[in-house]
């Protein structure tokens, strides 16, 4: 390759690059736009938020003598969770998405319902509910 063809190639590339420049800013993007970053809370912030929530609970009770220890990583004394409780299948222990309308047993899928829950003898369902603590006693 000779020195002359290298210069021709560079001239060509400069000319093409000059033609590709758009003089008008795009109306779809703002100049200097950056995607906002997600903000995660540190452990200290989570503990501080829980402490505030506990103090608000105590203020609502109006009992000034009752003291709740400060929430840290080393103690387990904390109010109940605000998240909903998880529901598991009474037969398999997997996630129980469905509930039987007849006996209120939770089950994982239709196969478990057809093979176990539907043909279940009376009284057996109460034993499963007793394990969960959801049984009822007739007086």
pTM for the model: 0.43
Same domain, 104 and 136: yes
Task: Point out the domain boundary residue: 64, 80, 96.
Answer: 80
Same domain, 124 and 91: yes
Q: Find the domain containing 57 and state its range.
A: 42-80
| pLDDT per residue rounded down to tens, the chain (139 residues) | 456 677 888 888 888 777 766 666 666 666 666 766 767 788 888 888 887 777 766 654 455 555 555 555 666 666 677 788 899 999 999 999 999 998 889 999 999 999 999 999 888 988 888 888 887 776 6
Task: Point out the domain boundary residue: 32, 62, 80.
Answer: 80
The full 3-state SS of the chain, as one line of letters, equals CCHHHHHHHHHHHHHHHHHCCCCCCCCCCCCCCCCCCCCCCCHHHHHHHHHHHHHHHHHHHCCCCCCCCCCCCCCCCCCCCCCCCCCECCCCCCECCEECCCCCCEECCHHHHHHHHCCCCCCHHHHHHHHHCCCCCCC
């Amino acid at each position: 390759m000779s020195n002359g063809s290298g210069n021709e190639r560079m001239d060509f590339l400069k000319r093409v690059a000059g033609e590709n420049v758009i003089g008008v800013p795009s109306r779809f993007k703002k100049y200097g736009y950056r995607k906002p970053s997600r903000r995660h809370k540190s452990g200290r912030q989570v503990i501080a938020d829980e402490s505030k929530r506990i103090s608000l609970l105590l203020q609502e009770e109006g009992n000034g003598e009752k003291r709740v220890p400060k929430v840290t990583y080393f103690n387990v004394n904390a109010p109940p969770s605000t998240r909903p409780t998880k529901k598991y299948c009474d037969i398999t222990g997997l996630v129980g998405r469905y509930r039987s309308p007849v006996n209120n047993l939770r089950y994982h899928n239709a196969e478990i319902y057809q093979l176990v829950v539907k043909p279940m003898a009376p009284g057996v369902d109460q034993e499963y509910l007793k394990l969960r603590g959801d049984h009822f006693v007739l007086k």
